Amino acid sequence: MTTSIKELMEAANAAVPRITPEQARAMMAKGTALVVDVRDAPEVEITGKVAGALHVSRGMLEFRADPGSPYHDKNFDKGKTIIVYCASGGRSALGGKALKDLGYTQVFNLGAFKDWAESGGAVDHPIEPGM
């Protein structure tokens, strides 16, 4: 049986709650949240990222999050709240669902980076090339 992207997105959105920038700031203020940017590197280089966020492209997310992977990133901890975002909310929904499937329980979708930036959220700006 095949699945469509519409069905994948519906399942991801059902599994991973969407939060507002204000809700994300409150979670981050507790000091136990890991914010993950799943956009591709060129996107992050152009716009920057949520201040303090870990950049892991969507294609590497499962490898970085799984403790059994040789590519595991120790920042991923199943006891932490994980906040995922991308450019529009689609990749972060799918990534959040993958994290849930890997056993992370507190996973939230911040949605679009631009919504964070436009709400006044702190941003780590890219370093100018050559600096």
| Secondary structure element (H or E) that encloses residue 118, with its range | helix 113-118
Question: What digits encode the pLDDT tens for the residues 14-50?
Answer: 999 999 999 999 999 999 999 999 999 999 999 999 9
Question: What digits encode the pLDDT tens for the residues 45-83?
Answer: 999 999 999 999 999 999 999 999 999 999 999 999 999
Q: In whole angstroms, what is the distance from residue 103 CA to residue 41 CA?
A: 26
In sequence order, what are the beta bridge partners of 2?
none
pLDDT at 129: 58
With 0-12 / 13-18 / 19 or more C-beta atoms within 10 angstroms meaning exposed / middle / buried, residue 34 is buried
Q: Where are the domains of the chain?
A: 5-120
For domain 5-120, the CATH class is: alpha beta
Give the pairing type, strands 123-124 and 54-55: unpaired
- DSSP codes joined into one string, 23-34: HHHHHHHTT-EE
Give Cα 94 distance to the centre of its chain. 10
Q: Which residues are CB-neighbours of 46 under 8 A, at least 6 positions away?
A: 126
- What letter would DSSP give residue 16? S
